[in-house]
Structure 1
Amino acid sequence: MWTNKLLIYFCLVLAMIFWGFSFVGTKISLDGNIQPITLVLIRLIVSGIFMLILTRSLGILQNIKKKDIKWFLLIAFFEPLCYFLGETYGLQLVTSTLGAVLISTIPLFVPWAAWIVFREKVSFLNLLGIVISIVGVLLIIFEPNISFNVSLLGIALLFIAVLSAVGYTMVLRHIIKTYSPVTIITWQNILGIFAFVPLFFVCDVHLFNISLFTPKIIITILCLGIFPSSLSYVFYSYAVKEFGVNRSTVFTNLIPVITAIFAYIIMDEELPLLKVAGILVVIFALFIS
């Protein structure tokens, strides 16, 4: 029993490490002038190929039942479509650390969504956590002279990603009882490819430049496709199946910390004391909620 729990905890920590890197990897790619939709599409193609090879070779890919097609279309609408549009365009306008902090507020909203969808009660600590997290985000957004230092549009786009992730979690809770995590992730990313191909031809094809894909960018996108876009979702879905939604989402507290460390080491992003305080306040809010 304890061995199984330790395995789930280990998988969750790995998922958060990969997702923590995702913000830095995405920022590196965007700074290399890769267009957002192009980046997401290639990332999904890498993930789709990786997951198909994995599931087919192990013989563990389940077929979708006709009655469940609508659920898979809905889960793909939330993630990867809406989530990655919000996250990737948002990260064009804000730092990877701020992006990770905003995304890490997902657990604060999951209980409210569970109340609306499943009529689960929202506790006082959930409400208190949301209020405190807002204070933390303000510490990150504002400089000491009380002036904005980030894009409001970027923040709005990232909150679209947050709401998409909440919707994704609600649908995941429904279908995880019937389908394995690897099956869900494989099909959601394949459906995501079909969603992003038309967007690529409408928005990005005229800006596509093969010379931008340097070895650094190629390695970064491959890592994004395999680790955060594939393995993180598999590990997280496995945890949701075993631990439940609320207990699993608490681990996203780790994402801004991991992202800040990666950004500081890899991208030389500044991490002043005020922003550190904001990160800690958000993490504290997540834990008490």
Structure 2
Amino acid sequence: MWTNKLLIYFCLVLAMIFWGFSFVGTKISLDGNIQPITLVLIRLIVSSVFMLILTRSLGILQNIKKKDIKWFLLIAFFEPLCYFLGETYGLQLVTSTLGAVLISTIPLFVPWAAWIVFREKVSLLNLLGIVISILGVLLIIFEPNISFNVSLLGIALLFIAVLSAVGYTMVLRHIIKTYSPVTIITWQNILGIFAFVPLFFVCDVHLFNISLFTPKIIITILCLGIFPSSLSYVFYSYAVKEFGVNRSTVFTNLIPVITAIFAYIIMDEELTLLKLTGIFVVIFALFISQINKIR
């Protein structure tokens, strides 16, 4: 029993580590003049090829039942389509700090959505952990003389990303009872390719330049496709299946923690005392939110 719990926690932490790297890897790619939709599309292609090789070689890819096609279309609509469009274009209109604050509200909305849709109970400790973890996130992203350049369109787009993440988690909670995590992520990303191909030809094809794909960019995108776009979703889905959405989603506030550490190691960004304090606050909040589960 304890071994199984530790495995789930290990999977959750790994998922957040990979997603935390995603922000740094995405920044490296965008700084290399790779267009947002091009980047997402290539990530999805890499992820789909990786997942198909994995699932086919192990013989574990399930076929989608006809009655469940609508759920897979819906989950792909939420993520990757709406989430990545909302986040990517929203962050172009507001500061990254304001964007991080808005994205960090996802764990606040998920428990209420889970209660409305599934009547999943929300404990006081779970709510307390969520609130404290968001305070920790604010400490991590806070900078002196900070200013929020408010764009209503940018805020609206980021809230689309937030609501998409909530919707994704609700649909995932429903279909995870029938399908394995690897099956869900494989089909989710394959369907995502079909959604992003038309967008690529409308928005990015005229800007596509093969010479931009240096060895550094290629390795970065391959890592983004395999780790955040594939393994993170598989591990997170497994945790949702075993722990439920409330205790799993609060771990997403580890992402700014991991991002800050990766940015310090890879991009030489400063890791201040305030950021370190925020990191410890988030970890403390996660412990609080999991107390009932640990017992």
TM-score by length of 2: 0.85
Question: Deviation at 1:284?
Answer: 6.3
Distance 1:14 1:94, change over 3 A: farther
Distance 1:284 1:225, change over 3 A: same
Question: Deviation at 1:49?
Answer: 0.4
**How far apart, CA to CA, are the structure 2 residues paired with 1:101 and 1:288?**
21
Which digits, 9 at most, give the CA deviation of each residue in 1:70-102, with x for residues without a partner?
Answer: 100000000010111123334556787876665
Give me the identity figure in percent. 97
CA contact (8 A) 2:85 2:161 kept: yes
**How far apart, CA to CA, are the structure 2 residues paired with 1:184 and 1:232?**
12
Structure 2 residue 167 is matched with structure 1 residue 167: yes
Which digits, 9 at most, give the CA deviation of each residue in 1:41-82, with x for residues without a partner?
Answer: 000000000001111111111111111011000000000101
Question: Deviation at 1:222?
Answer: 0.2
**How far apart, CA to CA, are the structure 1 residues paired with 2:285 and 2:228?**
25
Distance 1:282 1:4, change over 3 A: closer
CA contact (8 A) 2:15 2:232 kept: yes
> Which has the higher mean CA deviation after the structures are superposed, 16-25 or 105-114?
105-114
TM-score by length of 1: 0.86
Distance 1:156 1:89, change over 3 A: same
Distance 1:66 1:45, change over 3 A: same
Q: CA RMSD in A?
A: 3.0
Question: Deviation at 1:270?
Answer: 3.6
**How far apart, CA to CA, are the structure 2 residues paired with 1:265 and 1:143?**
19
CA contact (8 A) 2:50 2:226 kept: yes
**How far apart, CA to CA, are the structure 1 residues paired with 2:43 and 2:268?**
24
Matched pairs, number: 289
Q: Which runs of 5+ in 2 are unaligned?
A: 290-295
> Which has the higher mean CA deviation after the structures are superposed, 247-256 or 37-46?
247-256
> Which has the higher mean CA deviation after the structures are superposed, 249-258 or 174-183?
249-258
CA contact (8 A) 2:94 2:151 kept: yes
SS at match of 2:24: helix
CA contact (8 A) 1:143 1:149 kept: no
Question: Deviation at 1:287?
Answer: 6.4
Question: Deviation at 1:254?
Answer: 1.8
Question: Deviation at 1:147?
Answer: 3.4
Question: Deviation at 1:250?
Answer: 2.4
**How far apart, CA to CA, are the structure 1 residues paired with 2:235 and 2:140?**
30
Distance 1:137 1:249, change over 3 A: closer
CA contact (8 A) 1:19 1:232 kept: yes
Q: Which runs of 5+ in 1 are unaligned?
A: none
**How far apart, CA to CA, are the structure 1 residues paired with 2:198 and 2:278?**
39
The aligned runs of 1:1-289 (5 Å cut-off) are 1-92=1-92, 102-120=102-120, 144-145=144-145, 147-148=147-148, 156-273=156-273
Question: Deviation at 1:210?
Answer: 0.6
SS at match of 1:201: helix
